């Protein structure tokens, strides 16, 4: 069974790159991609993902606020923060907002899929 993943980032090129990256894994199926927090909430409502990947910086709802809202609406859905803003302060804020994992984009190649597999196990 493939894990249904929703990806959220305000950069269209990165969304396309991330979807292409994830499509190489048979057990991961991207069910949607959103450019904003509001779009992500709508897609999550409709698509019922098993896991959501969220960037911190977005135009309407911050990734931290989006993570809090996801955890409020769907407490059983794991959330991974995937961001360029990889600092101890951002990491701590993401975890306090309810993120289940925090990954810096530079280490995405080695860390993202293992994190997805760990959270879905």
Does this model's pTM top 0.85? yes
- Of 59, 68, 101, nearest in space to 83 by CA: 101
User: How many Å apart are CA 38 and CA 47, to the nearest integer?
Assistant: 14
Beta strands 28-34 and 3-8, pairing class:
parallel
Domain architecture of the chain: domains with CATH:
3-120 (3.40.50.2300)
In whole angstroms, what is the distance from residue 38 CA to residue 89 CA?
Answer: 25
Q: What is the pLDDT along the chain (121 residues), one digit of tens a residue?
A: 789 999 999 999 999 999 999 999 999 999 999 999 999 999 999 989 999 999 999 888 999 999 999 999 999 999 999 999 889 999 999 999 999 999 999 999 999 999 999 999 8
Q: What is the enclosing helix (H) or strand (E) of 115?
A: helix 108-120
């Amino acid at each position: 069974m493939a894990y249904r993943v929703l990806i959220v980032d305000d950069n269209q090129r990165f969304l396309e790159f991330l979807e292409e990256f994830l499509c190489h894994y048979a057990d991961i199926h991207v069910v949607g991609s959103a450019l904003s927090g509001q779009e992500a909430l709508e897609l999550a409502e409709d698509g019922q993902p098993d896991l959501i990947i969220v960037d911190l910086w977005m135009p309407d709802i911050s990734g931290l606020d989006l993570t809090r809202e996801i955890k409020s609406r769907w407490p059983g859905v794991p959330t991974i923060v995937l961001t360029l803003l990889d600092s101890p302060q951002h990491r701590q804020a993401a975890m306090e907002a309810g993120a289940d994992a925090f990954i810096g984009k530079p280490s995405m190649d080695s860390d993202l899929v293992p994190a997805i597999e760990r959270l879905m196990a």
